[in-house]
Amino acid sequence: MLRSRSIARSGAALVAAIAIMALTAGAALAHPESEGDHPSGCVVTAEPGTVAAGGTFTVAGNFGGAHIFVLPGADASPAEDATPDWTIPESQDSFSVVFTTLGPGDITVVALVPETECADTDHITVSAALPNTATEASNDPFATIAGVSLLGIALTLGRARMEVRRSRR
């Protein structure tokens, strides 16, 4: 049983802070660089992974001189003589470009530097319905388990604090 109010408050604040960090860690750990090998060091991302028809998505990369292709289909690749949807100057070290979707389906984003091995792809899904962005959350099971466990500890500390108050009456 806890005897000091400051210990109970400090403990509850510490547990709450750790729970928040655990629940938000999934977003940081889910960076596309961790999704597979990038032997050329060139990484391109398309965010968000799901967007409503008519919505926007951002294509970002860590290299300059890129030709960006936005192609319909899950595993599409640009034709040899295809015109890029956007071209990044070679003088830039990175890029971030916003595109607007047309209709539902899968989209493959390809960014490459012509005549080099610097290339990467990412995918997005365009849904017919508006996405429910109010419920986006981490998919990391460890973060979920840690957050729920820490929430339980915080509730236990709160209960202990209430028992201390009752015993003082």
Residue 27: its pLDDT value, please? 46
The two structure tokens encoding residue 144:
């979920």
CA distance 21 to 15: 10
- Written as one letter, the residue type at 3 is R
Higher pLDDT, 47 or 30: 47
CA-closest candidate to residue 46, choices 109, 93, 112: 109
pLDDT tens digits for 79-136? 988 999 999 998 998 999 999 988 889 999 999 998 888 899 999 999 886 555 665 5
Domain spans of the chain, in order of start: 5-28+140-168, 38-132
Instruction: Give the mean model confidence (pLDDT) for residues 137-164.
Output: 79
CA distance 12 to 86: 51
CA distance 33 to 169: 58
Element (H, E) at 55: none
Residue 137: its pLDDT value, please? 58
* CATH superfamily for domain 38-132: Macroglobulin (MG2) domain (2.60.40.1930)
pLDDT tens digits for 59-77? 999 998 999 999 999 889 9
Residue 32: its pLDDT value, please? 46
